[in-house]
Amino acid sequence: MKTIRLGTRPSALALWQANWTRDALTKLGVDVEIVKIVTSGDVNRAAAIANLGAQGVFTKEIQRALLNGEIDVAAHSLKDLPVEKIPGLKLAAVPAREDPRDVFVSNRFASLDELPQGAKIGTSSMRRKSMLLQYGAKRFPDAEGDAWDVRDIRGNVETRLKKLDDGEFDALVLASAGLKRLGFESRIRRFLEKPDFLPAVGQGALGLETREDDLETVETLEKISDSAAMLSVLAERALLAELQGGCLVPIGAQGALFPTDGEIEILSLDAQILSFDGKRSFQTTSIQIFDPSKYPSELPFETKKELAEILGRGCAQMLMEQGAADLVEEIRRVRDERNEKLRKRPAQN
């Protein structure tokens, strides 16, 4: 078997994921070479992610190297990977998923419910910001303006924690997965739970992408894939695609596969979309039942994947039917206007 060239961002968390993948493949007798690729998101670490413009700021360069044959596998944090399909590329594997939830981190307060009005909260996510604004409004219904001062924060996990320790923020909201993988689990004060908080699509999951025609690598990667994680993220990503949203849009989703006493499995999907200011939101839950008795032979996994994506698209339609259509259009308009301004900015300098 050939040596697999594994492309990854150079951040500590990305390298953790790449090293995990290398170790898993090495156990199968596969040689792996890690190739570090700097992305546009890595270069510009000062600006808020929402101000970097088009999607894929953490993935485009790696995918380009994959298409050009410079690497054989691209390792992505799935929450950063745009849902638009790129001809010639395939999401071949999703290993077992880490805890997808967001967490509350603070040196002074034990939970969001202890935060006083006006507290400064740092987050890099528009989704988290919208959810925090909504939750703060519930906590302080008589507040004039936003109950909390929710601010953008960039940098790797260590940088964000240092800003907290230096007193720039009263609290942070981060992904549980990143803290656990980098050895900062002790900093977690409280897990943020549904229905008020849903994670980003694909959060906590690692996506391994390769070329569709590289059948040998596809077959190898499938050996370290986790079926429950794959089905869950496919449902989440189909929801996001149907809403034409991206990582900059306030959409939360969490899929989960549950076995039953028999051979039937149930895939559930919780989903939520919010306005940027958190004042409007729509939420729904739907399920897909995998019942082998309805098929002449064992239910093919490819069929399960198709049904998972149908679940995601159906969940998106349920949100739209609840009244989210106008909100979706507003979010798209704001996003497109912001991207157009960013596109024109270099020409003005």
DSSP letters of 84-136? SPPTTEEEEE-PPPPP--EEEE-SS-SSGGGPPTT-EEEES-HHHHHHHHHHH
Selected catalytic residue, list 23, 31, 42, 80 = 80
Residue whose C-alpha is closest to residue 302's, from 245, 240, 225: 225
The answer to whether the beta carbons of residues 281 and 274 sit under 8 Å apart is yes
The b/e string for 99-133 (b: 16+ C-beta within 10 A; e otherwise) is bbbbbbbbeebeebeebeeebbbbbbbbbbbbbbb
Cα(238)–Cα(133) distance, integer angstroms: 26
**Number of residues that make up the chain:** 349
For 111, residues 6+ apart whose C-beta sits below 8 A from its C-beta are: 104, 189, 190
Is 42 designated active site?
A: no
- Token pair listed for 347: 């020409």
Cα(302)–Cα(215) distance, integer angstroms: 16
Cα(258)–Cα(267) distance, integer angstroms: 6
Direct distance between the N- and C-terminal alpha carbons of the chain, in angstroms, rounded to an integer:
51
Element (H, E) at 6: strand 4-8
Q: Is 287 helix (H, G, I), strand (E, B) or coil?
A: strand
Residues designated catalytic: 80
